[in-house]
A = this chain, B = another copy of it.
Amino acid sequence: MIPGKTIYRLSIYNRCLRRVEENQLTTISSSALAKAAGVNPSQLRRDFTYLGQFGTRGLGYPVQELMDAIRDVLGRENLQPVILVGAGNLGSALLRYQGFQKEGFEVVAAFDAVPDAVMQREISVPVYDVDTMPKFIAENDVKLAILSVPVEHAQEVANELVDAGVQGILSFSPTVLQVPETVTVNSVDLALELEQVSFFVKNEKISEVEIEPTS
């Protein structure tokens, strides 16, 4: 079983490797890739042992094979359908965000309590009334949802998502969602992230804050 933190870093390596690939390199050493990813070379090598072993001593890792191996673990051959709930302020920005597509996700539909108000904002994804959400989830076999509704409705909507069959939620609400343990929740709390930065700045430490997995 691969640790969550390793999974997170594999995603980072994957990104870095794409840039390496663009530069026409066919192999890369652990130290070079580690530097690009902002981690320790030993850690990177340790992470790669979970992929089996195919680095060449004295040379490095074959870029293409490495990418294939990582993608294999992350299970990202085909596009993952995702829905978004709450197309307000943050939600509509996320709908326009291209980064999800780049990583192999497709936001197939959005839901909002007042879909009309959202329509005009140059969004290519269809926005439906939130009442139709459970039906859509069931019919399209959606497993992943992005939750960007106001905090006071977050738990309520999360319950609906879970009942409808969603198995993973990326939440942007500053609250702790209570869900069955069969459901995976990852919470991104923007204010908390800023608070973290603030703390370490105040305490003027030589404290490098890294991005971290949500194991």
Structural contact, B37 and A176, CB atoms closer than 8 A? yes
Q: A187-B211, A211-B214 are in contact. Are A195 and B74 (CB under 8 A)?
A: yes
Docked pose: A196 CA to B196 CA in angstroms:
21
Give complex CA distance A173, B97 in Å. Answer: 12
CA distance A82 to B12 in the complex (A): 28
Copies of this chain, whole number:
2
Choose from B38, B92, B96, B191 the contact partner of A176 (Cβ within 8 Å): B38
Quick check: A214 and B212 within 8 Å, CB to CB? yes
Question: Are A201 and B184 in contact (CB-based, < 8 A)?
Answer: yes
What is the minimal beta-carbon distance from A34 to any residue of chain B, in angstroms?
Answer: 11
Within 8 A of B (CB), among A169-200: 169-170, 174-176, 178, 181-182, 184-200
Q: Which residues of B contact A188 (CB under 8 A)?
A: 188, 190, 193, 211
Chain B: CB-nearest residue to A148: B93
Complex interface: stretch among A23-31, A48-56, A57-65, A98-106: A98-106
CB-based contact B89/A96 at 8 Å:
yes
Interface contact A184-B200, CB-CB below 8 Å = yes
Known contacts A199-B74, A207-B184, A209-B186: does B192 contact A105 (CB below 8 Å)?
A: no
A168–B203 CA distance with the chains assembled, in angstroms: 11
28 A-B pairs in the complex with CB atoms less than 8 angstroms apart: A4-B196, A4-B200, A8-B192, A36-B176, A38-B178, A75-B199, A80-B198, A89-B96, A102-B191, A103-B192, A103-B194, A105-B198, A143-B201, A144-B198, A168-B197, A170-B194, A182-B204, A184-B197, A184-B208, A186-B196, A186-B209, A187-B211, A188-B188, A188-B193, A188-B211, A189-B211, A210-B214, A212-B214
6 new A-B pairs (CB below 8 Å) besides A92-B93, A144-B194, A168-B197? A4-B209, A74-B195, A75-B202, A89-B96, A90-B93, A176-B211
Binding site for B on A (CB under 8 A): 4, 7-8, 11-12, 15-16, 36-38, 74-76, 80, 82, 89-90, 92-94, 96-97, 99-100, 102-103, 105, 143-144, 146, 167-170, 174-176, 178, 181-182, 184-204, 206-215
